[in-house]
Each structure stands twice: as structure tokens, then as C-alpha cells.
Structure 1
Amino acid sequence: MTRASDARFMALALSLGRRGLGQAWPNPAVGCVIVRDGWIVGRGWTQPGGRPHAERVALDQAGEAARGSDVFVTLEPCAHHGMTPPCANALVAAGVARVVVALGDPDPRVSGRGLKILREAGITVETGLMEDAARADQAGFLSRVERGRPLVTLKLATSVDGRIATGSGESQWITGPEARRVVHGMRARHDAVMVGGGTARADDPSLTVRGLGVMQQPVRVVVSRRADIPADGGLARTAREVPVWVCHDADAALPGVLADAGVDGLPCAVRGRNVEIGSVLSALAERGITRVFCEGGGSLAASLLQADVVDEMVAMTAGLALGAEGIPALGALEISKLAEAQRFELAELRPVGGDVMARWVACR
């Protein structure tokens, strides 16, 4: 096959892999395409809950047609026995001729071992095709493995003067229905949606993905030192249907009424009066979370920025102003000089209905 056709098949594998974002954790969201004589005979992506893996799905679809085929996979095939046998061994057993891999897997259980298994079996292995795109798609998985924390996206929905509610606390809805639908799509591509305890108490949010037919809802995370979310609120009442995790002071137990409702407590370190953000993200990573979508409030958002852990910032801006008495999107950051403020690079800017969406990525 030509380099151009290889790129087309890898682009398809990447698009398939993205279907697993927010669904596949704790495993990476991988895509796989199997081609024989120029025809696609199998394709797959990591299924909800992380298995079966993309390669297994594609091989099952291809059947005997996989023998002598070319395989395009977005991440190095796994080489360890977990809940399923290694995908590298499955590719060898299927008799494939060539495997093209976009990105190596830094997980020490896999790193280089999957490629070695393939090469020792006489399979041609090529790496690095569309690596940058694969790295972007795997940013959350890579962050969990290499930095010990998930990728963090901070979403702010504000008026043009940076307010998230009126002075009386009214906030529904600053942005329009089109923007809210886009936000639901963003939630669906993250493993967890996170808010602060104040937001959970004041807004009683559901934090679920609605109207998109997702198979697996994101985990709902509340950061609350005293774990004092309402026992009769929507989060606690639905905790057995969609998981609710409360990150709280490790020196205090989760209230029994919340535990009885099915809420899960994650004990974390405390700094001053607040739960320490690094401890929160480490606890989430230990649970397998790779991508977190933070929706406020202002104190939690400011804590994330102060800790320099925001990887992407999404600003939904509506065409109205609420004035100085409105509630600001961010709490105090203790910045006295512009040089102290973290800079973000604009990655996307577009209208969404009557609002404007700007997506910014951290400059690190």
C-alpha cells in the first residue's frame, strides 16, 4: 500500500478511537482498522468499560480475513495479561503481516513489549504514523501514566463581563441551548465531571450527559472538605444509578447518610481550609480516571489554576452583561503582576448558536 492509503486508514482508526473517549477508562481509547488487499475487513474501538480492546473487536470482525492483513492501530498493542489476553499475542495468532502503530504505550507493562512480540513473530512493524494526532487523543491516558494525574479541562460559561450568575445567584441559563448541547458533548468525552461543594449545594446539578445516547455516564465528582452535599439532593438520590465520588478531608469520614445512599468517599489531603487539588487528582488517577471536566464553581476553578493543573480551558461567552454585583467565574487568584498569570494559547474560536466558544490550551 502507498503512504497516502496508510494515512487514510490510520485517520479512520483515530476517528474510531475517539468514540471511546469518556467510555473506555481506565484503559486508553484505541482505534483499530484491519485491511487486506486494499479492503477494510475489520475495524473496532475500545468498548465501554475498557474491554474488549479495539484490536480484539477488529479481529473478531475480520475472522480468517485477518491472515496476511495490514493492521492500523492508534496505540501500541498491549502485552500484559489483565482482564483480557494481550492484543499483541492475538495479532500474532491471527497471522497478520504488518502492524502500523501511531503511538507507543508508556505504561511500563507494555512499553516496547507489544512491538517486540510482534517483531519476534516475524510481523513487519511500523511506528509513528500520525503520532501527533494520536498523542492529542491519548492526552488523558498519557497524563495519568506519566504525570500521575488526569488531564483537566476547565469549562466556564459566563457573561461578557465574566459573571456566572446574577448577584441573587440566578444562573440558569446564561448561555443558550446550542452551547449547552456542546457542553454535554464535552462531558461525554471525559471520564468524570467535577464541581465544588458550593456548586453542588447551591445548584443541585445532575452533571449527567443528556440527549446524546451515551452508553456510560461520566463519574460525578464533588470536591468538598466536609463532604456536606445534601443527602436529599439529586446527586445523592441518583448515586446508585450514576456514580458520585466526594473528595473530602482524609481526617473525617464520609457521612453515613451519604454512604448509605451509595456515594463513594475519596479521602484527600487538606491545605488550609480546602482540599488539596494535587491530592484530589492523584486520588482520581488511582481510580483510573484519565480525563476530568471541571464545571466550577469559582473557588474550585481558581484552585485548579493556582495549582497549574488546567490543561485546557473552554470559555462559553454569552452576549449579556451582569455587572459588578454578579458572581465572578473565578475566585481569588492572588495575582499582583501580569507575569504571575498562567498563559493559555488559543486553539479554537467559533460561534455556538448565539454564544461564542473559545478553547484554550496551557502553555507549558
Structure 2
Amino acid sequence: MITLNKFEPGIHYYMELDKKLMKLAIKLAYKGKGKTFPNPCVGSVLSDCSGKVIGRGYHRRAGLPHAEVNCINSAKGSVTGSTLYVTLEPCCFFGKTPPCTDLIITSGIRRVVIGSEDPNPKVAGRGIAQLRKAGLEVVSGVLNEETDILIEDFRKYITKGEPFITVKAAFSLDGKIAARTRDSKWISSESSRKEAHYLRGINSGILVGAGTVFTDDPSLNIRLVRGYRDPVRIIIDRDLKTRRSAKMFSLPGKHILITSRSRLSEALKRFSGLNNIKVISCSLNRARHFTWVEIFRKLGSEGLGSILVEGGSGIISSLIKQQAADKFIFFISPRLFGDSRAVPVLAGFSVKSVNSSFKLKVSEYRVIGEDIMLIGYPDYRRH
């Protein structure tokens, strides 16, 4: 009779299990994306000593219990000796809710696996230190590239007080966002447009230029996905072209109009009586252009943690020139205009050589509907 030794999992087994359950925690965290501000979105999973999932949770809204609390409370029976997976380092201070570290320590959890350390100066490694001091085994940095993306907007806002800026554009294979007649409905597929509305939902604000408002009279609300609040609508309008009768002003929600200081009094008079619009003035440089740093600092002070830019070629080019955008999401349609007078995705932006061209570090691309969605981060070091 052959006797088999009891299976004893090794380091490789735990590494793979940690990655598998962290992926599940990340998936849970995205359920709260766009709904937890000013808190980060966080997901959590609890497993027993055999690796079986016995609890799961995510942070739903600011002021409500954190992901770890929801996860632990979802478990049936004792959690003693279990492993907690959480996409972000547990908090260790009293805010609107008690510290998560206290509950983790008193619950009997043996091991904690963390994705990203919390960039919040109130935490910043202190949560991990508290858990280790209490005798818990802590592993950090598991799938941290993915968990860092999850909190990229929170990281910038909590450390700099400025919103995370994502540029979104849909264009043809030859780089056109509209025909020469300014017709652009629809370059991208329905699936891409639905994804674009999801992007609106997970951002605090949506930004366009006055030209877009004047030409298209957009609503800039969320129609193709459910469960999200409309973002704050932001208009960049140096010369005060925006009409009081613009469609978006009749819709519920907050609006912010950025204009030049010389136009401030005129703007206040034009939009007087509209309670859902705030006018903010910013200075112009010698070329009579706004400085994005000033604009985004002021929008950050308005409580906006992330902004989706849906502006035209002028806005996008300006952001690239001033190195002010953090992320780009492009929907590339299988269309060709073949018309030099069609509207390009960039305007007033040119380079003299391939080596000096603007380049993205592509993090993801996938087929969505008939289009290709490309996500990338700017490589400003080349300029």
C-alpha cells in the first residue's frame, strides 16, 4: 500500500493564489469606480487556509463602510486564520469611518495581501506597519501595476490637489475627428460610445472648448450607461462665445465656465440668474492662451478629482504642448476620410522628425465594436 504525503503548498503556489485573488479584488474595486470620491475605489477578498473565497466586498461610496469592512462582514462564520486581499493599504486613521486596521487586527485574520500602498499622507505605509506590529503577515506590491492604475486619479488629487486629466477622442484611420462640414456623428461604433459614457461616469468633470459648445451644442450627460451621476460640465471659453441658451444649461447638474479675466464681468452678467453655473477667470499668457496648470489647480480647489477631456483638436493639442494631460484614450474607427480639409485630431501641433514626435506608452488596446480602443500615457521626457 502506497502512502501519499500530505500536500504542502510552496511559495510558487501562494504567489499564484495571491495574484488570482488580487485580480478578483481588483474586479470588485472597479464596481465602485467613479462613486467613491474623494475616497479611492478599493476591492477586497477573504480566503480561508485552503484558498477558498469566504468573503468579498468593495467600497461603494464615501462615508459608507470601506472594502475591508464589507468583505469581513460578508463572511459567514469565523475568519480566524484567514487571508485578506485588498487592492489598497488599509487605512489607519479615523475619518468618516473607523480605521480598517483595527477591525483586521481584532478579527483574527492571519495574513494580509496588499496591492498598492496608500499615497494618502495620513497613511503612507503606517497601515502596513500597524498590521505587522500586531503580528500579522503582510505582503505588499501584488499586481501593483494594476492596482496603481485603479487609484491613479486618487493619487494625483491626494498628493497635489489637482485633478487627473484623461483625454478621450474618436477618430478615423487617417486621424480625422469630423468631416469638413463638422459632421462627426458617428465616427465611432455604438460600443465605443457606450464605453465613452462609462468614462464620463467615472470622472468628476467633463471638459470641452467653447468651439465644441458653439458648433455641436452638446448635452455632455450620461445616457448609455446607468448608475452614475453626470459629471460637472466645464467649458473653456477665452473669448466668451458660449450662449446663455446652450442646451447643457437647461439640464440638471453643475457647470463651470473658464474665461479670461478681461471677460469676467461680461460673463457674470450674461449668466446671471443661472444657479447651476459658476464662472471662473484665469490669466492668459503672452500668446493669449490659458495656462493649464492654473486652470487645473482652480478646478482641484472646486473639488474635482478627475476630468475627462472631450475637447476638439485645439484643446487636445494645447494639452500636449503644455504637457498637462495624464492619460489618453483613443477610439480608432475603420474609416478613411481622405480629405485634407476634414477636421484633424490635432491642430497647431507639428514636429520636424520622427524622433521628436509625441509618443504614448501604450498600456492597453482592444477591439471594441468595430473600433480599436487604445489607452496610453504620455512620454513627455522626449520633449
**Cα offset for 1:108?**
1.0
Match in the other structure for 1:345: 361
Q: In the alignment, which residue of structure 1 is the partner of 2:17?
A: 5
Q: 1:90 to 1:138 in 2, by over 3 A?
A: same
Match of 1:297 in 2: 312
Taking the aligned partners of 1:192 and 1:337, their CA distance within structure 2 comes to 35
Q: Which residues of structure 2 form unaligned runs of 5+?
A: 1-8
Q: Work out the CA distance in 2 between the residues paired with 1:75 and 1:139.
A: 12
Question: CA separation in 2, counterparts of 1:262 and 1:294?
Answer: 20
**1:262 lines up with 2:273 in the alignment:** no
Q: Give the superposition deviation at 1:332.
A: 0.8
The 10-residue stretch of structure 1 (282-291 or 102-111) with the greater mean CA deviation from structure 2: 282-291
| Residue 54 of structure 2: aligned partner | 41
Aligned length: 362
- Does the CA-based 8 Å contact 1:48-1:216 persist in structure 2? no
**Native 8 Å contact 1:23 1:50 kept in 2:** no
Once the two structures are superposed, residues 90-137 of structure 1 have per-residue CA deviations (whole angstroms, 9 ceiling, x without a partner) of 323434322211111122111122122222333322212222221122
1:275-354 matches, cutoff 5 A:
275-318=290-333, 319-321=335-337, 323-333=339-349, 335-354=351-370
* Structure 1 residue 162 corresponds to structure 2 residue 178: no
Contact 2:46 2:85 in 1 (8 A): yes
CA 1:80–1:288: 2 relative to 1, 3 Å:
farther
Find the counterpart in structure 1 of residue 5 from structure 2: none
1:165 shift after superposition? 2.2
Within a 5 Å distance, the mapping from 1:1-364 to structure 2 comes to 2-37=14-49, 38-49=51-62, 51-62=64-75, 65-225=78-238, 229-238=242-251, 241-249=252-260, 252=264, 255=268, 257=271, 260-271=274-285, 272-318=287-333, 319-321=335-337, 323-333=339-349, 335-363=351-379, 364=381
Please report the TM-score for the alignment, with normalisation by the length of structure 1: 0.87
Q: Is the 8 A contact 1:227 1:247 kept in 2?
A: no
**d(CA) in 2 for partners of 1:171 and 1:137?**
31
| Post-superposition offset of 1:322 | 5.5
The residue type equivalent to 2:16 in the other structure is: A
TM-fit CA distance, 1:334: 5.6
* Root-mean-square deviation (Å): 2.7
Higher Rg of the two aligned structures: 2
Partners of 1:231 and 1:237 within 8 A in 2: no
Query: Which sections of structure 1, spanning at least 5 residues, go unmatched?
Result: none
Identity %: 28
In the superposition, the TM-score normalised over structure 2's length comes to: 0.83
The whole-number CA distance in structure 2 between the counterparts of 1:32 and 1:10 is 8
In 1, Cα distance between the equivalents of 2:103 and 2:331? 45
Mapped partners of 2:311, 2:328: distance in 1: 12
Deviation at 1:288, TM superposition (A): 4.3
Structure 1 residue 220: Cα displacement: 2.4
The one-letter amino acid of 1:308's match is: Q
Letter in 2 for 1:32: S
For 1:36-87, what per-residue CA distance to the aligned partner results, in whole angstroms no more than 9, with x for missing partners? 3444333222213464321232233237634443211111111222222222
Q: 1:217 to 1:39 in 2, by over 3 A?
A: farther
